[in-house]
Amino acid sequence: MKGRGISKGTGTGELLVSSEPISFLSGVNPETGTVVEQGHPLEGQSIAGRVLAFPYGKGSTVGSYVIYALKQNGLAPAAIINTEAEPIIAVGAIIAGIPMIDRLPSEFSRLPPGTRVTVNGDTGEVSYDETA
């Protein structure tokens, strides 16, 4: 599937999907890599090493630095997929060196969480094992 590349590089991991936007400032703990926002669909789940797919970011621009802190702590997602990238998440992904893409076709939404996917931020493509 082809979308738009935002942050270069390649990352592979299990797909973790949220239908809700994510605020990295106060929504994700950079010391644990866990979503801590009360009532969020991913509350209590770790994003570390997973391909994190969510519509877009929300909250303060400090969220970019939280993404960077996650990377420095070894707890960042392997890649980020957004429906539509916005500056907070894009800047965070770029400064942290996390591959990021957006604008994937609608068939992406049919992939079940846990599917092992590879995100190529250079080409804007996501691939997965169709036999798994």
Q: Smallest Cα–Cα separation from 36: which of 52, 20, 24?
A: 24
Yes or no: say if 84 and 55 are a contact pair by the CB < 8 Å rule: yes
DSSP 78: S
Taking residue 72's Cβ as centre, other Cβ atoms within 10 Å add up to 11
List, by residue number, the catalytic residues.
Answer: 60
Q: What pLDDT sits at residue 131?
A: 61
At 93, is the secondary structure helix, strand, or coil?
helix
Q: Where are the alpha helices (DSSP H) in 3-86?
A: 63-72
Q: What pLDDT sits at residue 9?
A: 98
Q: Is the pLDDT at 132 greater than 60, yes or no?
A: no
| pTM of the shown model | 0.96
Cβ neighbours of residue 33 under 8 Å, at least 6 residues apart? 46, 47, 48, 70, 73, 75, 76
Domains of the chain: 4-128 (3.50.30.10)
Average pLDDT over residues 61-79: 97
